[in-house]
C-alpha cells in the first residue's frame, strides 16, 4: 500500500518488509506517481480523448512528443505505420513531414472504415499519406508496401495494430528489414504487460504483448537493439519516459 502525505510531500510504502518514505519531488517520487497515473489513465481510457489536426489520436501525448523528437533526429523519408484506426497518428506524422520538408507516410490496416478513409483522404495533409487496406502481415500487403520504398530512402516503422506477441513478431519479421541504419521500429503499447487485472485486459497479457515481442526480436536479431532514445533536452531530474511503450524502440545498429 502506498500512502501520499501531502503535508510532508512524501510517499510512504512498504518494500521488502521495510517502511520507506520517498519525497514527492524526487525522481523516484515522480516514477511512483507516474506509474499510478498511468494505471488510472488506463482505467479511465484517458488516451481516448485526444485529436491531432481534427482526427482522433489514441495515444499518450508524451509518447507522441517523444516520438516527434526521434523523427526530427532521424529525418525519415518513409514512415510506415501498421494500424490506422481514425488516422490521427498518420496525420501527426504527415504534419511533421510537412514541417520538415521531407517524408511521406504509409498506413496499413486490416480494415479502414469508410468514414475514417473519407476523413483522412479529405484532410489537408492527405498528399503525404498513402493508405493500404489488408492484414499487415499478409505477403501481398507486405510486398505492396516494400515496393513503395525506393532505394536509398531512410525508413521508420511503427507497429500499432494487433498487439499480440505473435503478430508483432510477424510484423517485425516483415518490416524490420526495411528499417535503415540508425533508425527504428517501434512496438507500441507494451504497457499491456503492466496493467493485467485492470479493465479491458486479459490474464495472458503478462507475456502476450508487444514489449515481449520486441525483446525477443532484438535477442534473435543482433543487428537490432532495444534502445530508448535519450531526451534531446532536459534541465530537470527526470530521465525516464512516462509511456505506454516500454522497451518499444528497436534500433538498427548494423
Q: All 3 cell numbers of residue 44?
A: 479511465
Residues written for the chain: 254
Instruction: Give the number of other CB atoms < 10 A from CB of residue 218.
Output: 21
pLDDT in tens, 79-90: 999 999 999 999
pLDDT in tens, 121-178: 999 999 999 999 999 999 999 999 999 999 999 999 999 999 999 999 999 999 999 9
Residue 91 has a pLDDT of: 98
Whole-model pTM?
Answer: 0.95
* Residue (of 226, 132, 120) closest to 172 by Cα position: 226
pLDDT in tens, 208-247: 999 999 999 999 999 999 999 999 999 999 999 999 999 9
Residue 116 above 80 pLDDT?
Answer: yes
* Domains of the chain and CATH, by start: 2-43 (no CATH), 53-252 (3.40.50.150)
In the predicted model, what is the mean pLDDT of the chain?
96
* Burial of residue 54, with CB atoms counted within 10 A of its CB: 0-12 exposed, 13-18 middle, 19 or more buried: exposed
| Radius of gyration, alpha carbons of the chain | 19
Residue 160 has a pLDDT of: 98
Residue 1 above 80 pLDDT?
Answer: no
Residue 15 has a pLDDT of: 80
Residue 188 has a pLDDT of: 98
Residue 76 has a pLDDT of: 98
Q: All 3 cell numbers of residue 123?
A: 484532410
Residue 81 has a pLDDT of: 98
For residue 111, CA distances in Å to 64, 88, 106 come to 23, 16, 15
Amino acid at each position: 500500500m502506498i500512502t501520499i502525505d501531502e503535508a510532508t510531500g512524501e510517499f510512504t510504502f512498504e518494500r521488502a518488509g521495510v517502511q520507506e518514505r520517498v519525497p514527492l519531488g524526487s525522481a523516484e517520487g515522480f516514477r511512483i506517481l507516474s506509474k499510478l497515473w498511468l494505471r488510472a489513465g488506463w482505467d479511465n481510457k484517458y488516451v481516448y480523448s485526444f485529436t491531432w489536426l481534427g482526427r482522433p489520436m489514441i495515444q499518450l501525448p508524451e509518447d507522441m512528443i517523444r516520438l516527434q523528437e526521434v523523427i526530427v533526429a532521424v529525418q525519415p523519408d518513409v514512415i510506415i505505420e501498421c494500424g490506422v484506426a481514425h488516422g490521427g497518428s498518420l496525420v501527426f506524422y504527415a504534419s511533421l513531414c510537412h514541417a520538415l520538408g521531407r517524408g511521406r507516410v504509409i498506413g496499413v490496416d486490416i480494415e479502414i472504415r469508410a468514414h475514417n478513409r473519407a476523413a483522412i483522404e479529405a484532410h489537408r495533409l492527405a498528399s503525404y499519406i498513402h493508405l493500404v487496406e489488408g492484414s499487415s502481415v499478409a505477403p501481398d500487403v507486405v510486398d505492396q508496401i516494400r515496393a513503395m520504398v525506393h532505394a536509398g530512402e531512410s525508413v521508420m516503422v511503427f507497429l500499432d495494430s494487433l498487439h499480440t506477441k505473435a503478430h508483432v513478431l510477424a510484423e517485425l519479421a516483415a518490416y524490420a528489414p526495411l528499417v535503415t541504419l540508425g533508425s527504428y521500429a517501434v512496438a507500441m503499447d507494451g504497457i499491456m504487460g503492466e496493467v493485467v487485472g485492470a479493465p479491458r485486459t486479459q490474464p495472458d497479457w503478462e507475456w502476450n504483448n508487444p514489449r515481449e515481442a520486441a525483446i525477443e526480436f532484438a535477442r534473435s536479431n543482433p543487428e537490432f537493439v532495444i534502445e530508448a532514445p535519450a531526451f534531446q533536452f532536459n534541465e530537470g531530474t527526470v530521465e525516464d519516459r512516462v509511456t505506454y511503450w516500454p522497451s518499444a524502440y528497436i534500433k538498427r545498429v548494423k
